[in-house]
Amino acid sequence: MKKKGDVEQFVTRSGYPVKRVYDHRDVQDLDPDKDLGEPGSAPYTRGAYPNMYRERPWRIFQLSGYGLPEDEGARIRFLLETGEMGFIMEPDLLTCWHLYDLDDPEVVCRKDDVGQTGATLLSLRDYEIALEGIHIEMTYAHPGAVTPQLSPFAHACYFSVAEKRGIPLSQLRGTGEGDMIIAYLATPGKEPIPPSAGIRLNCDLIEFCIEKAPKWVPVSISAANARAGGLYKNEHELALTLANAIAYVDEILSRGKLKIDDFAYKIAGVGLSTGGDFFEDIAKYRAARRMWHKLMKERYGAQAERSLRLRLHTNVGASMCSYQQPLNNIVRTTCGALAAALAGTQSMGLACYDEAICIPTEHAHMMAVRTQQILQLEIGITDVVDPLGGSYYVEWLTNEVEKRSWQYLEEIEKRGGLVGALESGWLHLEAKKGLLEQQRQLMNDEFKFVGVNCFLVEEEPHEIQVFRSPRVYEQAKARQDKLKRERDNKKAQKALDKLRAVCKSGENVMPALMEAVKADVTAGEVGNLWREVFSTWEAPLPI
Amino acid sequence: MDKKGKKIKVLMAKTSMDGHWMGVTLVATALRDAGMEVVYGGQLRPEEIVAAAVQEDADVIGLNVGGSTRTVQRLMDLLSEKKVEALVVAGGTVPPCDIPVLKKMGISNVFPPGSSLDSIVNHIKDMVQK
């Protein structure tokens, strides 16, 4: 984009000045063997695997969920029939995210919000209903474990569904998330447990999965969420990814039980975003793989290929989309998807065109799947690995993103790493700075957003069918009351007491939590216990 | 300035449990830049919003609302019950079809994503000075 000022200057979305054209002199220090390597070989700049999409297309992996658990299940089945290759269960913000039961005063005064931003999934029973008719032994899954405080509960429920169906956990494939960035920086809820407790719970889950669910990816750092939260530059996204990885690695190493190559592969799948500056996003993915390799090898002495190879999920999020003229969002997400494909993503979820307005309709969801299918099948981009490798501009930009990301990581580390920079509120201030910068660019027309600050229309040219999630509070409440009435309350209480003791002693929470959900302990009961033992935290928001 | 010549005071709050804070931050910054005083209450229940509005003697209540129309209705009922006369404006991811519903409840104006900050500032100034 063109920057306003006395001298004409062009900059990328992250603000890096760019020249009219690039040539060999811009990459003269690049050593192709050392800095690029072969796809699937160190330092993985050119791709995580040698054959990439010739061997396996990227996974079409959409987020979905609303209403009651059976509504969630119906939408997942629809998407799988449409061609999705794995499913992401979205829990509602109000109950699952906060771990409140339906009789909590915070929920009672907001009945309409239950099941609105995801499904209400508050017990093992709810997970069983949502997953009815879905072959979880064969399908890659994300069981809705968005935040660190929810993640152990969501996993305990999902894993318990498998056990009840007689499926060994060792057979399950899928991913957790437990994202620190969304939970503590981008969209912190009211009084979550502190960031350090979030790290502890995630690391418990990592250790549990190494032993019991070897094919499962327990956490997925999703610094893509930082972009929606004001930290919109590519160096923010990469530096936060690495700062988060460092926090997990240091915690697990400090426990003294595992060595780096025993667990690094469990955190080597992360989520990044595209949909911003096309070439810069591509450069970011290539830089991410190279930086990961360097971090694991040089800082931690990792040797195993699976520790050193970074796998990437792509999120083309709704923050890139406009409320105005929503069909334009199909074009935006297509561009983001194309960037991710050219950059070698392993999986992808696109915002649906109506997502800036409402919960996606089936049609909008189908379009997100079809967009990816068209890219995979019709335009010939999957035959050659890293097709942009060697481009003077892309290689220069990859170096530039990497350089700036190491610098920003240093800034975070100076402030105590991810947890320190969150607790002090430094990252929240940085996010506000980025937000105001973006707003200034939007207002002075440096950044053009079609339909928002240019090419506006008075009336929407196309009628968008707004999806209304059903009002589910009363049904969900009746169901939860019945569960609490009919369960063996002594057993539930005993399981909770055991979980409390485990939390306090520092043992791994997962086995006790699995027992608790099997005794029909609910999300709200676990949430109250977390708040009791870990205390709560107020995000230092500079509003 | 309001009619009495003092700074316009705005209480901002979120009615839902959603945690996005970018939108409210932008609006709060714009209102302060326009000379208003802004108090941010965070995620508040309807009763808490009314109590805060009374305590702060707010001229305006700025709400970040999700899909929670029944919660907003409850708030509007409480405000009229307690005879709180603050101007109520709302913003957030509100589907177009919900805008008239909220206005019918007595919300003075609704600003969905992409609204200009000037339009929010001007609306508040116009209405408070009336």
Q: How far is B70 from chain A (nearest CA, A)?
A: 7
Q: Which of B12, B15, B17 to mutate to test the interface with A (most CBs of A within 10 A)?
A: B17
Q: A168, exposed or middle or buried, with CB in 10 Å at 0-12, 13-18, 19+?
A: exposed
Predicted pLDDT at A185:
96
- How many whole angstroms separate alpha carbon A156 and alpha carbon A135? 18
Are B114 and A452 an interchain contact pair (Cβ–Cβ within 8 Å)?
yes
**Tens of pLDDT along A367-424?**
999 999 999 999 999 999 999 999 999 999 999 999 999 999 999 999 999 999 999 9
Minimum CA–CA partner of B40 in chain A: A543
Structure tokens at A429: 């201030």
Rg (CA), chain A: 23
DSSP conformation letters of B7-41: PPEEEEEESSS----HHHHHHHHHHHHTT-EEEEE
Q: Each residue of A280-327: pLDDT tens digit?
A: 999 999 999 999 999 999 999 999 999 999 999 999 987 889 999 999
Contacts of A460 in chain B (CB under 8 A): 96
Beta carbons of A115 and A68 less than 8 angstroms apart: yes
Lowest pLDDT segment from A250-264, A307-321, A496-510, A524-538: A307-321
ipTM: 0.95
Q: Which residue is it, tokens 């302060």? A: B32
DSSP letter (8 states) at residue A67: B
Q: Write down the pLDDT at residue A94.
A: 78
pTM above 0.95, yes or no: yes
Within a 10 A sphere around the Cβ of A427, how many other Cβ atoms?
Answer: 26
pLDDT of residue B2: 64
Tell me the CA distances in angstroms from A229 to A49, A185, A226, A232, A453, one per residue in order. Answer: 31, 7, 5, 7, 21
Cα B7 to the chain's mean position, in Å?
Answer: 16
Higher-confidence position of A367 and A5: A367
pLDDT at A410: 98
Looking at CA atoms only, how far is residue A144 from chain B in angstroms? 16
Q: What is the distance between the terminal CA atoms of chain B, rounded to a whole angstrom?
A: 11
Contact with chain B for residue A184, Cβ under 8 A? no
Alpha helices per DSSP H over B34-68: 46-56
Q: Is the peptide bond before A39 cis (omega within 30 degrees of 0)?
A: no
More confident residue, A55 or B70: A55
Asked if B15's CB is within 8 angstroms of A112's CB, the reply is no
Please give the average per-residue pLDDT across A120-135, as a whole number.
98
Give the DSSP letter of residue B38: E
Mark yes or no for CB contact A116/B70 under 8 Å. no
Gap between the Cα atoms of A412 and B93, Å rounded: 32
B25 touches chain A (CB under 8 A): yes
- Cβ within 8 Å, pair A543-B26: no
Proportion of chain A in helix, strand, coil states, percent, rounded to 5: 50, 10, 40
Dump pLDDT digits (tens) for A240-288. Answer: 999 999 999 999 999 999 999 999 999 999 999 999 999 999 999 999 9
- For residue A460, pLDDT beyond 90: no
What pLDDT score does B3 carry? 63
